Amino acid sequence: MKKLILLAIIAATPAAAATGPFFSLANTNFVVSLGFLLFLAILLKFGVPGIITGMLDKRAAQIKADLDEARALREEAKAILASYERKKKEVQEQADRIVSSAKEEAAAAAEQAKIDLAASIARRLASAEERIASAEAGAVRAVREHAVTVAIAAAADVLAKQVTAVSAAASIDAAIKQVGAKLH
């Protein structure tokens, strides 16, 4: 309290420069200084500095609590971010494995397709060769049959010119005997 009065007196030194006696109710500077000291006394009497200090302390505590909560939320956000980054990395690794597996399967399927295509070509080539051989055999058989037909026709023509009626009858009789001998 004494420090406050001393402070008020020091603050009132410009009022001492006024004309006339300072400690007079006619001096406005004295009245203002007296009113200010009275105002300070009332503030101290009702504990306003304590109330203001309490409010400031409460506000500081609230700010500190908000800061602590913000730090906790920040740490929680960092943990969640790290968790999501781990999950993202795991998902990326899984996607890479799936892609590499798909590539391997595609390469294996391509190799199998090449093998199947080669086997199909080999089968078709063998089938074509068999058809060619069959056609060749058919052509040879047709040529032989035609040659036999031509030879028979030529032989019949030659025999027809050389055989007389008597020799033809004898030849027919011999053939009938021969067939009769074989049937009995």
Tell me phi and psi for residue 14, to 5 degrees. -65, -25
Residue 114 within a domain: yes
Residue 94 within a domain: yes
Nearest-angstrom CA–CA distance, 80 and 7: 57
Residue 39 within a domain: yes
Structural domain boundaries enclosing 88: 32-129
Q: Report how many domains make up the chain.
A: 1
Q: What is the pLDDT of residues 63-103, one digit of tens each?
A: 999 999 999 999 999 999 999 999 999 999 999 999 999 99
Q: What tokens appear for 6 in the block?
A: 């001393």
- Kindly report the pTM of this predicted structure: 0.40
Residue 14 within a domain: no
Q: What tokens appear for 40 in the block?
A: 């300070």
Residue 56 within a domain: yes
Residue 113 within a domain: yes
Q: What number of other Cβ atoms are within 10 A of residue 30's Cβ? A: 19
Q: What is the pLDDT of residues 93-151, one digit of tens each?
A: 999 999 999 999 999 999 999 999 999 999 999 999 999 999 898 888 888 888 888 87
Residue 143 within a domain: no
Residue 163 within a domain: no
